[in-house]
Structure 1
Amino acid sequence: MSTYFVKRLTYMAIILLAASFLIFSLYAMTPGDFITGNIKLTPERKAELREIYGLNKPLIERYLTWMKNAVHGDFGYSLAQQKPVLTLFNQYIWNSFLLAIVSTFLTWLIAVVVGVIAAYKQYSWFDTLVMVLIFSAMSIPSFFIGLFLIKVLAVDLKWLPPGGMITTGSNAQGFAYVKEVIHHMTLPVIVMTLLGVGSLTRYFRSNMIDVIKQDYIRTARAKGLTERKVLFTHALRNALLPAITLVGFELPALFGGSLIIEKIFNWPGIGQLYMQSFGLRDYPLLMGFTMFIAVLTVIGTLLSDILYHLADPRVKL
């Protein structure tokens, strides 16, 4: 196990080093930046700022400086927001995490339960209805679902607020603040759950169909075990094994998958900040966020390998 971790950590370091150079190079070679595109600055002031922030230095020298600072936790300074990138991350990323963790929990819960029942009742009316809803959810764009639910639930029925994290001008604290946040996050969580539950339900359904045809499932039924115990104890555990590989993609998806949703619902998360930075060409913040996603991807892949080994000891690391 220790040898495996040493090898994986070495691979992770090499992958992240290559990813960091690729990320930095792509953004650095993109034409224009925040200083160049700022029409309020004089040519002399632009040249001065480029000198101050080292934007006129060679690419390799700039990368080495950025990487040295990144190792020490300094991912640069956001010129558009006038704050360090790490400070902005700490300010916005927890809002995104709140949306992502709730929607991910609901997505997996619904997908597992519905997938198991649909597989058990294959070709029934329930299975047919589930498949129709799955393909409908997968085919409709996220912005359409978001705007449609805002129109119906927020504008017409006035059940939920159309956007934001709290009511404008609200001074709520304690439990009242928590209640207000939950009320505002309901719509974006519904949309994110609808977008993710389709493909995951189909994945669990196909896995369960394969598993319940195995000999050991027939043996468990022959022993007189209840159908619920056969499905959710014996079959589901083995059907979950292939799904563990998806964990490696869940970590980056927690933050990368909510970019459009946060923009639609005006949710003050890292996704909306990232989208705004594109228009402003705030490359330090864009590089920091993209590098953050790369780190999460590598860590998620390692976690999925370890979880797969724990779930099935026959698989060697």
Structure 2
Amino acid sequence: MKSYVIKRLIYMLITLIGASMLIFMLYALTPGDFVDSNPKLSMERKIELKELYGLDKPVVERYFIWLGNLLKGDLGFSLQYQQSVTSLVVSFIGNSFLIAFTSMIFTWLIAIAIGVFSATKQYSWFDALITFLVFAAMSLPAFFVGLLIIKLLAVDLGWFPPGGKITTGSTTTGLAYVWEVIRHMALPVAVLTMLSVGSLTRYFRTNLLEVIKQDFIRTARAKGLKEKTVVYKHALRNALLPAITLLGFEIPSLFGGAIITEKIFNWPGIGQVYMQAFSVRDYPVLMGFTIFIATLTVISNLIADLLYRVADPRVRLK
């Protein structure tokens, strides 16, 4: 196990260095930057700012400067916000993680519950209904679902706030503040869950149907075990094993999917900062967030592999 983890960490470092090259070159070779996109600056001022921020240096030299700072934990300097990208990410990533992690918990709980019930009731009216709803949810874009939920639940019914993290001008503290945040995050979490639960439900259903047809399940039933024991203790555990691999992609994809959702609900997360950085070509922010997602992806994949070994001791990590 120890040698496997060390080997994977080395591979992760090589992968991230390769990713950093692609990310930097993608943005560095894109025409224009934050200075060029500002029409209020004179040509002399643009030349001065490019020299000040090192944008006049060759691309290869700029990459190694950026990589050296990256290895020290410095993601660069945001030209729009006039602060380090590291402090900017730290300031907003907690809010994004809050709705992403909450959505992931609800997604997996709902997907497992519905997937199991749908598999055990194959070809029933419930299975047909779930199949229809799953494909309907997967086909709807995030902005449409978000705006529809705001119209129905926030504007028409007034059950939830339409956006933001807290009410404007709010001075609540303690439990009142926690409850206020929960009410504000309810709608974005609902949208993220709705858009993610469909594919995961079908995945669990398919895996469980395959496991139920295997010999050891027929043996368990032949021994007279209760159907609940057969399904939840034997079949479900084996059906969950392939799904553990999805954890390596679930968390990064939630952060990526939350970008549009945060914009719709005006949630103060890193997605908002990312969208604003695109509009003004603040490339240090874009590169910093992209390398953060890349790092999160490789770490999540390592955790998923280790969890797979914990869940199934028969698996040997080499």
Q: TM-score, normalised by structure 1?
A: 0.98
Distance 1:76 1:161 in 2: 35
Q: Residue 92 of structure 2 corresponds to which residue in structure 1? A: 92
Say yes or no: does 1:273 pair with 2:234: no
| Structure 1 residue 252 displacement after superposition | 1.1
Q: Residue 160 of structure 2 corresponds to which residue in structure 1? A: 160
Q: Residue 37 of structure 2 corresponds to which residue in structure 1? A: 37
Q: Residue 112 of structure 1 corresponds to which residue in structure 2? A: 112
| Structure 1 residue 2 displacement after superposition | 2.4
Of 249-258 and 176-185, deviating more is 249-258
Distance 1:255 1:135 in 2: 22
| Structure 1 residue 159 displacement after superposition | 0.9
Cα RMSD of the aligned pairs, angstroms, is: 0.9
Q: May I ask how many residue pairs the two structures share in their alignment?
A: 317
| Structure 1 residue 222 displacement after superposition | 2.2
Amino acid corresponding to residue 306 of structure 2 in structure 1 = I
Distance 2:102 2:302 in 1: 23
| Structure 1 residue 219 displacement after superposition | 1.6
Structure 2 residue runs without a partner (length 5+): none
| Structure 1 residue 3 displacement after superposition | 2.2
Say yes or no: does 1:240 pair with 2:250: no
Amino acid corresponding to residue 172 of structure 2 in structure 1 = A
Distance 1:267 1:43 in 2: 37
Q: Residue 6 of structure 1 corresponds to which residue in structure 2? A: 6
| Structure 1 residue 216 displacement after superposition | 1.1
Matches within 5 A, 1:117-128: 117-128=117-128
| Structure 1 residue 83 displacement after superposition | 1.2
Distance 2:256 2:138 in 1: 18
Q: Residue 204 of structure 1 corresponds to which residue in structure 2? A: 204
Q: Residue 50 of structure 1 corresponds to which residue in structure 2? A: 50
Distance 2:302 2:103 in 1: 23
Q: Residue 292 of structure 1 corresponds to which residue in structure 2? A: 292
Distance 2:251 2:158 in 1: 34
| Structure 1 residue 230 displacement after superposition | 1.2
Q: Residue 303 of structure 2 corresponds to which residue in structure 1? A: 303
| Structure 1 residue 223 displacement after superposition | 2.2
Of 202-211 and 305-314, deviating more is 305-314
Distance 2:175 2:315 in 1: 46
| Structure 1 residue 176 displacement after superposition | 0.8
1:19-49, Cα deviation, whole Å (9 max, x unpaired): 0011011101111111111112111111111
| Structure 1 residue 202 displacement after superposition | 0.3
Structure 1 residue runs without a partner (length 5+): none
Of 40-49 and 113-122, deviating more is 40-49
Distance 1:59 1:105 in 2: 42
| Structure 1 residue 314 displacement after superposition | 2.2
| Structure 1 residue 226 displacement after superposition | 1.8
Q: Residue 17 of structure 2 corresponds to which residue in structure 1? A: 17
| Structure 1 residue 119 displacement after superposition | 0.2
Amino acid corresponding to residue 141 of structure 2 in structure 1 = P
1:208-238, Cα deviation, whole Å (9 max, x unpaired): 1111111111221222222111111100000
Q: Residue 77 of structure 1 corresponds to which residue in structure 2? A: 77
| Structure 1 residue 199 displacement after superposition | 0.3
Q: Percent same amino acid among aligned pairs?
A: 64
Distance 1:236 1:133 in 2: 23
| Structure 1 residue 11 displacement after superposition | 1.1
Q: TM-score, normalised by structure 2?
A: 0.98
Distance 2:27 2:307 in 1: 35
| Structure 1 residue 73 displacement after superposition | 1.2
CA contact (8 A) 2:244 2:307 kept: yes
Distance 1:289 1:212 in 2: 43
Q: Residue 217 of structure 1 corresponds to which residue in structure 2? A: 217
Distance 2:303 2:216 in 1: 29
Q: Residue 263 of structure 2 corresponds to which residue in structure 1? A: 263
SS at match of 1:172: coil
| Structure 1 residue 71 displacement after superposition | 1.0
| Structure 1 residue 313 displacement after superposition | 2.2
Amino acid corresponding to residue 212 of structure 1 in structure 2 = I
| Structure 1 residue 274 displacement after superposition | 0.4
SS at match of 1:257: helix
